[in-house]
Amino acid sequence: MKPVYLDYFATTPVDPQVAEAMGACLTIDGTFGNAASRSHRYGWEAEMAVETARQQLAELLNADVREIVWTSGATESDNLAIKGVIEVARQEGNRQPHVITSLIEHKAVLDSCHALEAQGVEITRLAPDANGLISPEAVAEALRENTCLVSIMHANNEIGTVNDIAGISSYTREAGVPLHVDAAQSVGKIAVDVQALGVDLLSVSAHKFYGPKGMGALYCRRGVHHRVAAQIHGGGHERGLRSGTLATHQIVGLGKAAEVAAACLQEEGARLESLRESFLSSLTDLPGVTLNGHRQQRLPGGVNISVADVEGEALLLSLPEFALSTGSACSSASLEPSYVLRALGLPDALAHSSLRISLGRYTSAQDMDLLSARLHEVVPRLRDQTTA
């Protein structure tokens, strides 16, 4: 039997409705045409499918369809937003642009900022508080006259904490500084209303909410398009912001995933939160287990725990019936302790002993009961082996 899947932050399986919609776009009998081929029916049908998907995502985000730019995923969206804004700032005469981000962003943001820093851009990396949150006040204090962009994630991909983006945007709007938000982990899992949040740019990844891998989007608020320079050229697709033949089947899959998410968002969120809280309550009698990040201000299915006096890798190996991780999938090859947990102030020993447990659409109460029971069996045994 396959292990119980509890790594939904890494990726999600494609929803059957999404797979069906995508399959209808692949063969000669389906909507397989090039959406830019407007001289025949195949192109028209593809364009209609693409625009339907754009509407589906726009409705999930409370955005205008003209504000949705298709990309290959949140990594590309992050790069386009961050590098694109800085390129325009330089073109407009800002010789030493400044970017504000945080120490616990996804690598797509951190590495983009690192690349810009090597080119002379000033980067301020804010530290989270002990609960894993970036405060609006910290962002406000870091703003300067030459600040060109603030990039703060909505929900953290390791610990699942959710930042007060609306609070942050109240300061960036007042300062006239664009706010970019990596929302790869939050879209489709909690309500993400770009109007209420006050964001200017927001990155989306389809495979984080039961859509296909290799597909994403960048929300680009009207009036901000001119402040973002394209990073992929050739054909002028997506209103000039992202060239390349549109992958109709992938786009249709993202759109369908957005439609499905919108229909079950509240019910699914409440169910996952209930499972999460029951699981955490079941661990209270297991000494040395601590939750990393704020207890309430987090994604419904997000759990990150440290288990004192036990190596995280050893714990994983002792739980072969579960698919879990010790941190971000993007950093899984690293032997270093999680940079996110270290930024929270955890010592290396506790950071090394962490487990990322992420629940999703197909997680059952029985799954979580089994994990709790196995942890109660395995943790004392591993501790005894360590002290023996």
Residue 117's SS3 state is helix
How far apart CA 172 and CA 149 sit, in angstroms, is: 9
With contact defined as beta carbons under 8 Å apart, do 385 and 378 qualify? Answer: no
Is 25 catalytic? The answer is no
**Orientation of helix 248-282 relative to helix 41-61, angle to 10°:** 30
Write the single-letter amino acid at 92: E
Which of 322, 12, 269 lies closest to 162, judged by CA?
269
How far apart CA 387 and CA 136 sit, in angstroms, is 44
Q: Exactly one of 25, 220, 264, 330 is catalytic; which is it?
A: 330
User: Taking a C-beta distance cutoff of 8 angstroms, is the pair 374, 8 a contact?
Assistant: no
Rounded CA separation 103/84 (Å)? 21
What lies within 8 Å, CB to CB, of 134 at 6+ separation is 102, 104, 126, 128, 152, 163, 168
DSSP labels, 226-247: GG---SS-SS-TGGGTS-S---
Q: Which DSSP symbol is given to 14?
A: P
- Mind telling me the catalytic residues? 330
